[in-house]
Amino acid sequence: MDTKLLNEVVKESGMKYAYIADQVGLPYTTLYSKLTGRSRWYIDEVYKLCKVLRLSKKQRDSIFFTEM
């Protein structure tokens, strides 16, 4: 997972972490743990995050599927 790229996308979105956490259905602290790579993402969370951030498939793959 490319946490640096994910955090760049989040920053560029202009959305607050609290808003993103609410939309994904996570507590703020859990979202922060996932954005920093301390916790892993589950597929349903990735799906929701991609919708909130309006990520393209290419962006999604570059962030979440870097080891493939």
CATH of the domain at 22: 1.10.260.40
- pLDDT range class, residue 40, cuts 50, 70, 90: very high
Q: According to the model, what pLDDT value does residue 66 have?
A: 78
Q: How many CA atoms lie within 13 A of 15 on its CB side?
A: 17
Domains in the chain, number: 1
**Per-residue pLDDT for 35 more than 80?**
yes
Measure the CA–CA gap between 53 and 41, rounded to whole angstroms.
15
pLDDT for residue 29 is more than 90: yes
Please report the pLDDT score of residue 68 as a whole number: 55
8 has pLDDT over 90:
yes
What token pair was written down for 56?
Answer: 């393209």
Residue ranges making up the domain that contains 27: 3-64
